[in-house]
Amino acid sequence: MTYVIASFGLQTAAARFLALLNESETELWSAASAIFILTLVVTTIATIAFVVLSPTLSVYFTKTTEWTFAFILGAFWVFSGTLALVFQAFVQGLRRYKSIATILLVSRLALIGFTFFGLYFFDSVETPILAWIIYNTIVVGWSLGITGKRILNFRGKTEIRKILRYSIPLGFAAMVGVIANTIDQFLVGGYLNALALGVYNAAVVMSGALSLVLFTPLVTALLPEFSARVDNESEIASGLRLAIRFVILATLPSSFILAGVSGQALEIFAGNRVYLSGITALQILCLLFVIGSIQGVFTSLLQALGRTLLIMIIGLLSVLTVTVISVLLIPIYGITGAALGNALLGVSGIGIPLIFTRKYVRGVGQFGFYSKVLVSSLLSFVTMSELANRISSSPFTILPYTVIGTGIFLILLRAFRTLNAEDKKHLKNFLPISLQRLISLL
């Protein structure tokens, strides 16, 4: 999270400007060169500050200076992580989506492998930090191979002021976003106890996996694609309609299925039945996950339109919303109240974008489609919950219940004739040949 702030919105600027200027090779690489220079300056300052503060951070968090070296390693994690974010955004802005997928797959495998074997052989807290540095280095090196020396040696006219005007509000928005996404945890720790905080954190981490596995891959292409079509209102409107349609189609059933096996998932993830007190919190976070996903689509559109100051304002309103809801509900309902505040965070972030993007929203209100997906997902969730309550909630049931829930959703999807010809065509483009027959059956 620290290097998301340290990048100060430059990763978003990279994706937007490279996609926006794709018809002019000179302007494109001028912008890329300027963003690269700004990134080096900003992340170097952040890294030096982190190194200087390492002894203080060690004392604050561990009550000793013995862990200072770990925090110094963390500073290089910040440096490499910021560069990785921006270089990945360069590839994203060039619309090389298959390259991004390959880079992330290989680098994450390296991350997992180094962490596993490093901890097994060395049993050191520095190992995961080094693993992340290796991950970031692979991302930067591979991305640099795609962009080539053009990003290092180009000496064209740069538009640094324009880039800074765009990225600075996003930098502040990132800081606000960190507060918005963690304030509920601070309030749980303040109002409740350490056990409640541990249980709630487990629920938050598990629901957050939905963003990593589902939402992030789905919206990777949105910013550059919206940016490349910023002057074509009808194409953006069409893209927004499809984006919301497929985000709902992917996130709604997946989040409801996770909610249906929330008890088993918590027991497997946390390894202790005491965490089962977080089932309701996890279910709330999952069942309302789609709200934040829709907000993310509108955020990508605002980024493409250059409305970064508005994004910062929305972030501030989100902090205010989640703080008020959490302060009101946590003392009464405990971690369930915190989960409600967290899940409703996206509501405050949808209203304002709708006002400023209303000319692109035509055709988005496909309520028949949304209702069918919702009912199919809800029946899957109810079935899985009943199986857990009446038959068994053993961790070993997570796989068969997931298969049952998925099967029910797919059967209902076909029974309701939810997908049209256009949906099937787009889905086949995303799926491997071996799974395309499944789409035809739906």
CA distance 60 to 50: 14
Task: Supply the pLDDT for residue 82.
Answer: 87
Task: Supply the pLDDT for residue 98.
Answer: 77
Mean pLDDT of 79-105: 84
Distances (CA, A) of 115 to 70, 112, 134: 15, 5, 10
Residue 127: pLDDT band with limits 50, 70, 90: confident
φ/ψ of residue 124, rounded to 5: -125, 140
Mean pLDDT of 61-83: 82
In this model, does residue 330 exceed pLDDT 70?
yes
In this model, does residue 378 exceed pLDDT 90?
yes
CB 117 within 8 A of CB 64: no
Mean pLDDT of 119-141: 81
Hey, which of 184-198, 224-238, 285-299 has the most confident mean pLDDT? 285-299
In this model, does residue 229 exceed pLDDT 60?
yes
Residue 6: pLDDT band with limits 50, 70, 90: low
Q: 197 or 337: whose pLDDT is higher? A: 337
- Report percent pLDDT > 90 for the chain: 10
Task: Supply the pLDDT for residue 364.
Answer: 66
In this model, does residue 403 exceed pLDDT 80?
yes
Residues in the chain: 442
| Burial track 49-62 (b if 16+ CB lie within 10 A, e otherwise) | ebbeebeebbeeee
Mean pLDDT of 295-315: 82
341 contacts: CB under 8 Å, gap ≥ 6: 184, 321, 322, 325, 326, 329, 330
Task: Supply the pLDDT for residue 257.
Answer: 93
> Each residue of 132-166: pLDDT tens digit?
888 889 988 888 888 877 776 555 555 677 788 88
In this model, does residue 61 exceed pLDDT 70?
no
Amino acid letter for position 60: Y
Task: Supply the pLDDT for residue 226.
Answer: 74
Task: Supply the pLDDT for residue 192.
Answer: 83
Task: Supply the pLDDT for residue 1.
Answer: 55
Nearest to 340 by CA among 299, 291, 269, 376: 291
What is the token pair recorded at 108?
Answer: 């994450």
Residue 326: pLDDT band with limits 50, 70, 90: confident
CA distance 238 to 224: 15
What is the token pair recorded at 4?
Answer: 């998301």
Task: Supply the pLDDT for residue 119.
Answer: 67
